[in-house]
């Protein structure tokens, strides 16, 4: 059950092209993005953990 005062979160879906030569899978890219956004103060620790999966 969601509390009445819970914040509403909107999400974007992004599609990016990454060269095959980088040999990265989806989880590695999500982890790198979450880490960088946390480092820059754009995400809280919990938000970064959620994004990274």
Per-domain boundaries in the chain: 24-52
CB 32 within 8 A of CB 52: no
Q: What integer pLDDT is reported at residue 36 of this predicted model?
A: 98
Q: How far is CA 45 from CA 21, 50, 52, in A?
A: 31, 9, 11
d(CA 30, CA 13) in angstroms, rounded, equals 12
Q: What integer pLDDT is reported at residue 47 of this predicted model?
A: 92
d(CA 20, CA 13) in angstroms, rounded, equals 21
Could you report the per-residue pLDDT of 1-53, keeping only the tens digit for each?
Answer: 667 777 777 888 999 999 999 999 999 999 999 999 999 999 999 999 999 98
Q: What integer pLDDT is reported at residue 2 of this predicted model?
A: 63
Q: What integer pLDDT is reported at residue 7 of this predicted model?
A: 74
Q: What integer pLDDT is reported at residue 15 of this predicted model?
A: 93
d(CA 30, CA 21) in angstroms, rounded, equals 18
């Amino acid at each position: 059950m969601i509390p009445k005062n819970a914040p509403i979160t909107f999400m974007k879906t992004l599609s990016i092209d990454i060269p095959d030569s980088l040999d990265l899978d989806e989880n590695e890219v999500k982890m790198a993005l979450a880490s960088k956004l946390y480092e820059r103060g754009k995400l809280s620790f919990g938000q970064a953990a959620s994004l990274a999966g």
